[in-house]
């Protein structure tokens, strides 16, 4: 058994998500009170606006919840890079790569596509592309790629394992 490493990456702005969820619940509560109570007669002109606000609040809350709940776990076990998607209490292994199949890892430059890839995966949790890397690997004679957000330590371990497998 070789190198063993684990790290979990998630959305970093959890406070913003909480604010959006609280704001959404307040809008839903106020609109529900208006629609149920006798205030409905007073706000008859604003009834359509009320329904639109409820819809927008629900969509915003669902989007924020999904974005904040998404996390990825990066594992290195015996020269294998394993990426798992964590959502709530569920975990799903989405990618398993032998590090000797990795061709290159480079800082991701938005809009730059140098290779013709068979498939490109996205394992980014945040909108911050400055910390994202693009990894290209070969599988069954085809090139695949994925975007991810490794720490400096994970990046260095992958580079060491790539160089080790080229020597061995």
Cα 15 from Cα 81, distance rounded (Å): 31
**Hey, what CATH class is 4-9+72-167 in?**
mainly beta
pLDDT, position 55:
78
Compare 100 and 131 and report the one with higher pLDDT: 100
Q: Convert the pLDDT of each residue in 87-116 to its tens digit.
A: 777 888 888 998 888 888 888 776 666 668
Q: Are 105 and 133 in contact (CB under 8 A)?
A: yes
How many residues does this entry show for the chain?
168
pLDDT at 3 over 60: no
Q: Tell me the three state secondary structure of residue 23.
A: helix
Q: Is 9 helix (H, G, I), strand (E, B) or coil?
A: strand
Among 87, 75, 67, CA closest to 1: 75
The alpha-helical segments, DSSP class H, found in the chain are: 14-36, 47-69, 152-167
Instruction: Tell the burial category of 81 from Cβ atoms under 10 Å away from its Cβ (0-12, 13-18, 19+).
Output: buried
pLDDT of residue 42: 61
In angstroms, rounded to a whole number, what is the distance separating the alpha carbons of residues 151 and 10?
12
3-state helix, strand, coil in the chain (%, to 5): 45, 35, 25
pLDDT value of residue 45: 62
pLDDT tens digits, one per residue of 69-83 = 778 888 888 888 888
Residue 2 pLDDT > 60 = no
């Amino acid at each position: 058994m070789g190198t063993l490493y684990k790290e979990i990456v998630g959305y970093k702005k959890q406070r913003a998500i909480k604010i959006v969820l609280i704001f959404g619940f307040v809008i839903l509560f106020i609109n529900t009170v208006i629609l149920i109570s006798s205030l409905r007669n007073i706000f008859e002109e604003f009834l359509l606006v009320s329904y639109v606000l409820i819809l927008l609040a629900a969509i915003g809350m669902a989007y924020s919840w999904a974005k904040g709940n998404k996390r990825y776990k990066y594992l290195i076990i015996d020269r294998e890079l394993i990426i798992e998607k964590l959502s709530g209490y569920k975990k799903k292994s989405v990618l398993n790569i032998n590090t000797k199949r990795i061709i290159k890892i480079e800082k991701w430059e938005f809009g730059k596509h140098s290779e013709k890839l068979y498939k490109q995966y996205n394992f980014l949790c945040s909108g911050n592309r400055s910390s994202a890397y693009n990894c290209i690997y070969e599988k069954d004679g085809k090139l695949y790629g994925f975007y991810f957000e490794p720490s400096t330590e994970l990046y260095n371990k992958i580079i060491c394992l790539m160089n080790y497998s080229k020597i061995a």
